[in-house]
Amino acid sequence: MEEELRSICADIGLPEAPPPDWYRIGTDSTPLADLLKAESWRPPLAIPEEVTEANFARLVFLEVFPEEEDASLTDVLFLFQWWLMVVSSHAGERVGFLHTKEV
């Protein structure tokens, strides 16, 4: 992941990625049907057909941020986000889909 972050920062003219400082974990109550639609800020997600309305439990996200000063100096507001779609199965809850968004 560090290599990919360095590459992204190089593409936007930063010599290196700001170091991670803090993170946030949370959940989102957006229904699956809405996640399947394109939004102005993102294309539609390529969610596997195994993730259905019947087994979709929730969306969990992990966001990693740089220090506030680094964010203001570099315009890098976050380092990456992971969106995990949790699904219910006969074996319990599992990750049905993982989406990564960098810088």
Within a domain: residue 9? no
pLDDT (0 to 100) of residue 1: 60
What is the pTM assigned to this prediction? 0.66
pLDDT score of 73 = 64
Q: How many domains does the chain have?
A: 1
Q: Comparing C-alpha atoms, which of 72, 57, 87 is closest to residue 97?
A: 87
Residue 79 lies in a domain: yes
pLDDT tens for each residue of the chain, 103 residues long: 667 667 767 777 777 777 778 788 999 888 898 888 877 766 777 888 899 999 999 999 988 887 777 667 666 677 778 888 999 999 999 999 888 765 5
Instruction: Write out the residue range of the structural domain in which residue 24 sits.
Output: 20-102
Alpha carbons 58 and 21: distance in angstroms, whole number:
27
Residue 95 is assigned to a structural domain of this protein: yes
In a domain, 73, yes or no: yes
**DSSP per position, 13-62:** T-SSPPPEEEEEEEEE---HHHHTS-BTTBPPP---TT--TTTEEEEEEE
